[in-house]
Amino acid sequence: MSEITSRVALVTGGSRGIGRAIAELLAGHGHQIAINYVSNEVAAAEAVAAIEAAGGTAIAVRGDVGDQEAVDALIKDVQDRLGPVEILVNNAGITRDDLLMRMRPEAWDDVMQTNLKSVYLCSRAVMRGMLRGRWGRIVSLSSVAGVYGNPGQANYAAAKAGIIGFTMSLAKEIGSRGITVNAVAPGFIATDMTAALGDDVATAAAEKITLGRLGLPEEVASAVGYLASEDASYITGQTIVVDGGLAL
């Protein structure tokens, strides 16, 4: 690995699941971590404590990343406390699954706001600092649902596919300034979000996965950590699928 420079990293939705694994991994790489959360203060405090116990630096910053004012406030908060955000991980996401025939407009709008508008808002808010520093890493969490589709997840899949288009476009806009923009598309990963689907769904999913099991949050985090690193300096506009061979 290249020599590590300590950077300021913001992980949205970083208190639990994949986000927390990403926060811990980036902290392990020597970066200072801002863990964004919206409601679970206890989980955020636990994530901060875990990083500090391991000798790292972390703060928790509250705010709804789908809301412009909240985003501007939280980015400023991170800047005041740690410095300009140099690594942004757009991880915050929710599901409001339903068959399209039954999907209410709120279920569509909530998912779009939290999963896609947040990516636009947070990326725009950190852009100025990254342009000034002539260095930046933006890594957004897409999903296999956004690559292959998934019944009952038209809203989620649309938002996650939107992230891929956003990633390619922004990569082209700011590539000349030393800022890379990439996405990671996890498959079935063992988190609260997939646990909510039930054991039957998990078992059925595992049968379709080449590696025969659900993934771990840490296995997604390692891909994010790589894209956020100096080592990935020549990779931009890409979506790395981390799904244990789901589509093979």
Partner 1 sequence: MERSQIEAKLTDLLVDELGLERDDITMEAKFEEDLDVDSLGVVELLMALEDNFDVKIPDEEAEKITTVGEAADLVNQKLNG
Q: Which residues are identified as catalytic?
A: 156
Q: Is 81 in the site for partner 1 (CB under 8 A)?
A: no
Q: Is 170 a residue that touches partner 1 (CB under 8 A)?
A: no
Burial (0-12, 13-18, 19+ Cβ within 10 Å), 145: buried
Q: Which residue has the tokens 């981390």?
A: 242
As measured in angstroms, the least distance from the Cβ of 173 to partner 1 is 7
- Look-up of token digits 């999903």: 143
- Which of these ranges, 171-179, 180-188, 200-208, 220-228, lies near partner 1 under the rule CB under 8 A? 171-179
Comparing CB distances to partner 1, the nearer of 81 and 128 is 128
Does 173 contact partner 1 by CB under 8 A?
Answer: yes
- Sign of the CA dihedral running 58, 63, 67, 68: negative
Quick one: CA dihedral 207, 204, 188, 155, positive or negative? positive
Give the nearest distance from C-beta 133 to partner 1 in angstroms: 12
> How would you classify residue 87: left for phi > 0, otherwise alpha for psi between -120 and 50, otherwise beta?
beta
Q: Which of 81, 132, 149, 201 binds partner 1 (CB under 8 A)?
A: 132
Is 2 among the residues that bind partner 1 (CB under 8 A)?
no
Q: 25 and 1 in contact (C-beta within 8 Å)?
A: no
CB of 75 to partner 1, least distance (A): 15
Report residue 224 as tokens.
Answer: 């994010």
Footprint of partner 1 (CB under 8 A): 128, 131-132, 173-174, 176-177
